[in-house]
Each structure stands twice: as structure tokens, then as C-alpha cells.
Amino acid sequence: MIEVCVLILSFFVKLGFGQGLLPSGDPYFCVPSGICPDTSGGGIDPRIITPDGGTNPTPDPGAIVCPAGKVPCFAQGPSSNCGLRLVPITNTADGFAQFGAYPWQAYLTGPTGAFLGSGSLLSPYHVLTAAHKVLAFVGNPSQLTVIMGVNDPANINTLPASSRSVAAQISIFNAATYNNATLKNNLAIVRLANPISLLNQNSINTVCLPPSTSNANTYSTPSQRCLVSGWGQIQPTNPAVPTQLKQVTVSTTDINTCANGFTGRVNTTAYLDMTGGQICAGGEAQKDACFQDGGGPMTCGAGTSASRFTVAGIVIWGKSCGQAGVYGVYTNVPFYRAWIIQTITQPIP
């Protein structure tokens, strides 16, 4: 039995009113004014078209298409601020995370306000998380609430209303065949009823998706150093959760080494996806995600910039926590990038 971790811009392509894609494959989002900082600089003219009175003019290929009353938000790609920490970070040691160290970390709660797990903010409207964390709310998404800017959960009620929203829709990858028992293909996109404000806040930002050039092997090679963050248990035998967000540095490994670490512990044929849908990291004593960290991000430095972070994995399962030679298992985000992009660029009513 496994334990579930409960861890340049030169022209634009029209996709449809409400969202769109850059030539790089990165999306833009249409949001109300005052939600998103203007990152379109560099002397370009975004040439926004806002349809009037319900008509749909045919824009030229260089137009960003947003409905009337909304403006484009660049929340992904090199033309955005994605993956950037907005406060100086001086504490990089494993343990408690500094305020603002993971501004993309979403805090998920159910109808009673109880903590459910984590996620990653991809746009003002979209959160990436594990399917097993939100499957129960697919039929009634408004019972799920996403809160951003959380460090100490005891202070949640002091956060501004613009930092939270109930869900409007939950999309599960290949929902018809997703199996909560095996946790393969374990990812979901939560679309929010109201956009999260990214403007004038130093504790809320989007995380970068892997670039369009990434593939299933991008984060499956050994010894890449990445970060896992969450509010999960500190020890597997102690249900107590930390008083603030925690962080740990983990090293990636290849899937075969990962499988060998579960020998005698887990039926890897049933639970470990050897075809590219999962990656593994950890394997060092006391350096791991743990119970209740599920849905949260494993982030890695993006490209040559150690200051910009990409969500490489989603915490999904492990065997106990923090055992030497036993790895944590993560949904491999690059493997599902096309589905993620397709989902978050669906028009928003």
C-alpha cells in the first residue's frame, strides 16, 4: 500500500475571445483591469482588440483578442513575471520558508475551511494541482476555495479578498479513466470564479510552466536540484502540521533508480508510471515531501536564471517520508504541458 502525499513577443495568434497563445506556445489571459501588472514593455504595441456589442470582428494576425472590458495579462512565458520572487530571499535553508518565497503556492480548503492540499497559480484564473486533491469537488466546485499569499495559515483571515476565490470549474486530465487508487495521470486544473489579483502584491505571483521545448525527460535526469514546498506533516508518524510554509531541496533521479528504491515496499507496476507521466526526486534522509503536501509544486530553476522558477512536478505519492534511498513521486508537468495549455486557454465565461 502506498501513502499519498496529502507535494519576443512579436506577434500573437488568435485562439478565441477570452484567451490566446503567443507564437512561443505560452498563453495570455484576458482579465479585468487592475488585476495584472503591465509586462508588455520593450517598445511593442500589443494592439488590443475588444469586440463591441457582441460583434466578432476578424482581427489581423498581430492582435491580442480580449472581450470588451478586459485587458491582456501575460502570466506565462518570457514576456511575463512568472516564476519570479517579488521579495528579497535570504533564507534558502531547508525548513521554514521566508514570506514570499513561493508566491505561486496555493492553499486549498474545503467547505469547512479545512486545509486540503496545495496547488500552483498559473494565471489569475487557473491553479494546477493533483487530481486526487480535488476530485470530490468536480460536481460542486464552489465548495473548493483557493487562497493565495499564505505563509502562516493562522493569518488567513487577514488576507485581502482579492487573494482568494472559490472554484468555478475543475478539469481532470482524462477524467473518464482517472483512477484515484493508482494515482497515474494525476493532475487537475482549477478554474477560479474570480481572478486572483497579481497587482501591487509581493506575496502572489504565477509560476512558469515548462517551455514548449521541454519534454518528458527534462526533469527525469539525475541530480537536478529543485525545491518542494508545502504545509504538510513534518514527520510521517506525527500528524502535526507546521505553523508556516516549509521548503526542502531535493534531487531528481531517473525512473529506474526510483523504481528500485520501492523494491519490497510498493508494487511499482501498479503505481509507478514508467512511460513518462511521473518523475521522482528526494532519496535523501529527511529531505522529502510528506502527507498533506499533495498537489503542491516541485519547482526548478528556469533555464539559466536561478531567480525564475518553473513548476516541474506535482507532489502525488511516496512511501512514508524522508527515507534514504526511497524517492517521492511527482506528476511530470512537461509530459502534460499540451493538455495544460489547452485547458487554461479555454474561453472564460
DSSP 53-74: TT------TT-EE--TTEEEE-
Cell of residue 343, nine digits: 485547458
Closest CA to 135 of 104, 192, 174: 174
Per residue in 77-136, pLDDT (tens digit) is: 887 899 999 999 888 899 999 999 999 999 999 999 999 999 999 999 999 999 999 999
Strand, coil or helix: 34: coil
Cell of residue 153, nine digits: 495559515
Per residue in 259-315, pLDDT (tens digit) is: 999 998 989 988 999 999 999 999 998 888 888 999 999 999 865 557 899 999 999
Q: Find residue 105's DSSP bridge partners.
A: 120
DSSP string covering 300-340, please? EEETTEEEEEEEEEEEEEESSSS-TT-EEEEEEGGGGHHHH
- pLDDT value, residue 241: 79
Confidence (pTM): 0.88
Closest CA to 313 of 209, 243, 236: 209
pLDDT level of residue 63 (50, 70, 90 thresholds) = low
CA distances from residue 201 to 42, 100, 204, 306 in whole angstroms, order as listed: 23, 10, 6, 22
Cell of residue 320, nine digits: 512514508
DSSP string covering 172-188, please? ETTTTT--TTT-TT--E
Cell of residue 278, nine digits: 511521473
Closest CA to 78 of 192, 203, 213, 189: 213
Strand, coil or helix: 145: strand
Residue partners of 158: CB distance under 8 A and separation at least 6? none
